[in-house]
Amino acid sequence: MNHKTVYLETMGCQMNVLDSELVLEQLRTRGYAPTGEMHEADLVLINTCSVRAHAEDKAFSRLGSLKKSIRNKPDRVVGVIGCMAERDPDGIFQKMKHVDLVCGPAELYKLPAMIEEVRQGHRHLVALTVNKSRRNSPLERSTEYDSVEAFDLSRDPGSDAGVVQSYLRVQRGCDKFCTFCVVPFTRGPERSRPPGQIVGEARMLADHGCKEITLLGQTVNSYVNQNNGRAVHFADLLARVHEVEGIERIRFVTSYPGDFTSDIFQAMRDLPKVCEYLHLPVQSGSNAVLKRMRRQYTVERFCELVAEARETVPDITLATDFIVGFCGETEQEFEESCELTRRCDFKNIFCFKYSERLETVAGKRFPDDVPIEVKRRRNNTLLKIQEEISLRNNQALAGRIVEVLVESYSKAALKAQEAEQSRGSELSWRRSDQLVGRTRGDQIVVFPGRPEDIGRLAKVRLTEATALTLQGCLARGSRQQARGKRQ
C-alpha cells in the first residue's frame, strides 16, 4: 500500500466541493492521506473554476507558487482538475510546465489511473470528453456516461462518518447556453441521474449520520429522469428523498427561473423536511439584458415566481445572482436591476462583474464594452442596496426562536483555540465559545454553545443582527429536547 500525501484545493461552486470530496475518497482507498501543506505533498491537485477570469487567475497563481518547491519534491505529481482543465488544457501545459495531468470534471473517475501512469514516467496526460462532444453537437450524449455515473456510485462516506451536511448530485451539465456562461462547455450536456440511485445515496449518507442533504444541479429544478416511459420530475424526486429516514433537512441549488413549476412550491410547502429557501438566479432586472443573455424568461415572469413562492411557502427566503456590466448594459438597464432588488426583498444576493468567456456567444459576438470601473461601481451600488434590506430584515427577527443546524465553532472561536493550542495549553470549552449554524431559511446564526451541540438541531432565540449574520442564544429547553430526540 502506498503511503503518500495529497493536497487538494477546491475553487468555485458546490459541484466542485462535491467532486473534491469524491476524489479524496477514491485516493484514500488507494493509500493517500490528505494534507494541508501544499509544498510537502506527494500529489497536488487543484480543482478549478472557469466561470470568471478571476477564478482562473487564482488557479494559475497557486500552480505558479508550486515552482519554488520543485527541487525538494522532484517526484511530486501535479494535476489540474475541474472546469479549467476542460476548457484550456494546452494553455495550462504551456504556462505551467510542471503540471503532469489535466482532467475534466466528467472524467474524474479516470484520475487514480492517470496518477499511476504519471508515477510510471508518463507526462502531460489529458482526460476530456465533454469538450469534444460539445464541439460535435450540443446535445450529444457521452458514450462513457455509465463510467461517469460510476464516479458518484463509488461514494463511500465511511471516513466522513458524523458529517451532518452533504451534497448530493442529481444532475450533471447544462443545456441552457446562457450567452455569458461557460458551464455548458465545461460540464457538458444536462443529464439527470436515476432517482433510485439518488435515493440510495441519500440513504447511505443518512446511515453515516448526515442530517441535511443539498441536492445539486446547474438547473436543478429542470431535473427529469425517464424510465420505461415514465418521467420523474423534480417535485417527485423531492418526495422520494423526503422518505429517507434520518435526513431532517433537504435543500437544493441552483434553480433556473425559466423552468420553475408550481408543483415544486407545493412540494416545499407540503414536505416538512424541504427547507423554505430558494436560490433563484435572475442575472438582471432588465428584459433587454435578459434577452441578450438568452435567459428565456422576463422580469415579469420572475416577479410572478417570487410572488407565488411567498404565497405558497410561508416564511420562504430567497437569494439570487446578478451580473453587472454585461455587454451593452446601460445605466438605465442597471437601474432596473437595482429596482428589482428593492422590490424582491431577497435574503441576500450574489453579485458578479461580467467576465468575458471567449467560447460563449457573448464572447464571440458581443463587445465587452462596460469599463471595469463602471462594473465595479455598479457591483458596489447593488450590494449596498441589498445590505440595507438584509440588515433591516435581520433586525426584525430579534426575539424569534429559530431552528438551527449547528455546523461548527465560529471562525473567531477556532482562531482563539488555535492560538491557545500554539501556546501549548490544553483545549477546553469556554462559556464564551461561539458556534455557528444555519436556519431552515439559510440564515447564518452565531450563538454561544458547547461542543456537543455541533451536529444537532438547536432552538436559538435571536437577539441581534448584522446584514450577514444573526446572533442569539440557546432557547431554554433546547438541549434537553436535542437529547430526548436522540434516545
Site residues (CB under 6 A) for ligand SAH?
A: 13, 51-52, 180-181, 183, 218-219, 254, 281, 283, 321, 323, 352, 354-355, 357
118 makes contact, choosing from ligand F3S, ligand SAH, none, with CB < 5 to 8 Å by partner type, with none
C-alpha–C-alpha distance, residues 55 and 468, integer Å: 24
181 is an interface residue for ligand F3S by CB under 6 A: yes
449 makes contact, choosing from ligand F3S, ligand SAH, none, with CB < 5 to 8 Å by partner type, with none
Q: Supply 427's cell numbers.
A: 483545549
313 is an interface residue for ligand F3S by CB under 6 A: no
Q: Which residues pair with 166 in a beta bridge?
A: 213
The DSSP code for 320 is E
**Number of residues forming the site for ligand F3S (CB under 6 A):** 10
In terms of Cβ atoms closer than 10 Å to its own Cβ (0-12, 13-18, 19+), residue 230 is exposed
148 makes contact, choosing from ligand SAH, ligand F3S, none, with CB < 5 to 8 Å by partner type, with none
Backbone angles phi, psi at 10, to 5 degrees: -110, 130
176 makes contact, choosing from ligand F3S, ligand SAH, none, with CB < 5 to 8 Å by partner type, with ligand F3S
Q: Supply 20's cell numbers.
A: 473534491
176 is an interface residue for ligand F3S by CB under 6 A: yes
Q: Which is nearer to ligand F3S, 352 or 409 (CB)?
A: 352
Place of cell 451532518: 164
CB atoms within 10 A of CB 323: 26
DSSP structure string for 27-90: HHTTTEEE-S-GGG-SEEEEEE--SSHHHHHHHHHHHHHGGGGTTT-TT-EEEEEEHHHHH-HH
99 is an interface residue for ligand F3S by CB under 6 A: no
174 is an interface residue for ligand F3S by CB under 6 A: yes
CB atoms within 10 A of CB 31: 11
CB atoms within 10 A of CB 433: 18
Q: Supply 161's cell numbers.
A: 462518518
Among 20, 50, 218, 410, the residue binding ligand F3S under the rule CB under 6 A is 218
Cβ partners under 8 Å of residue 471, min gap 6:
445, 446, 447, 462, 463, 464, 465
241 is an interface residue for ligand F3S by CB under 6 A: no
Q: Which is nearer to ligand F3S, 174 or 351 (CB)?
A: 174
Q: Which is nearer to ligand F3S, 293 or 370 (CB)?
A: 293
Q: Characterize 80-90 residue by residue with b for buried, 16 or more Cβ atoms within 10 angstroms of its Cβ, and e for exposed.
A: bbbbbbbbbbe
45 makes contact, choosing from ligand SAH, ligand F3S, none, with CB < 5 to 8 Å by partner type, with none
C-alpha–C-alpha distance, residues 448 and 457, integer Å: 14
Closest C-alpha among 440, 446, 441, 483 to residue 461: 446
92 makes contact, choosing from ligand SAH, ligand F3S, none, with CB < 5 to 8 Å by partner type, with none
**Local structure of 392: helix, strand or coil:** helix
178 is an interface residue for ligand F3S by CB under 6 A: yes
323 makes contact, choosing from ligand F3S, ligand SAH, none, with CB < 5 to 8 Å by partner type, with ligand SAH
From 100-108, 174-182, 417-425, 475-483, span contacting ligand F3S (CB under 6 A): 174-182
52 makes contact, choosing from ligand SAH, ligand F3S, none, with CB < 5 to 8 Å by partner type, with ligand SAH
Provide the minimum distance between the beta carbon of 377 and ligand SAH in the complex, in angstroms, as a whole number.
16
From 171-179, 208-216, 328-336, 413-421, span contacting ligand F3S (CB under 6 A): 171-179
C-alpha–C-alpha distance, residues 280 and 256, integer Å: 6
216 is an interface residue for ligand F3S by CB under 6 A: no
C-alpha–C-alpha distance, residues 282 and 382, integer Å: 14
256 is an interface residue for ligand F3S by CB under 6 A: yes
Closest C-alpha among 295, 346, 340 to residue 180: 295
C-alpha–C-alpha distance, residues 180 and 178, integer Å: 6
13 makes contact, choosing from ligand SAH, ligand F3S, none, with CB < 5 to 8 Å by partner type, with ligand SAH
Provide the minimum distance between the beta carbon of 263 and ligand SAH in the complex, in angstroms, as a whole number.
20
Q: Which is nearer to ligand F3S, 171 or 225 (CB)?
A: 171
Tell me the HSE value of 225 on the side-chain side, using a 13 A CA sphere.
Answer: 17
C-alpha–C-alpha distance, residues 4 and 444, integer Å: 37
Q: Which is nearer to ligand F3S, 145 or 177 (CB)?
A: 177
Provide the minimum distance between the beta carbon of 258 and ligand F3S in the complex, in angstroms, as a whole number.
8
446 is an interface residue for ligand F3S by CB under 6 A: no
CB 52 within 8 A of CB 12: no
Among 25, 112, 165, 177, the residue binding ligand F3S under the rule CB under 6 A is 177
186 makes contact, choosing from ligand SAH, ligand F3S, none, with CB < 5 to 8 Å by partner type, with none
From 130-138, 173-181, 429-437, 449-457, span contacting ligand F3S (CB under 6 A): 173-181
Provide the minimum distance between the beta carbon of 391 and ligand SAH in the complex, in angstroms, as a whole number.
23
184 is an interface residue for ligand F3S by CB under 6 A: yes
Q: Which is nearer to ligand SAH, 236 or 321 (CB)?
A: 321
List residues binding ligand F3S (CB under 6 A). Answer: 174, 176-178, 181, 183-184, 218-219, 256
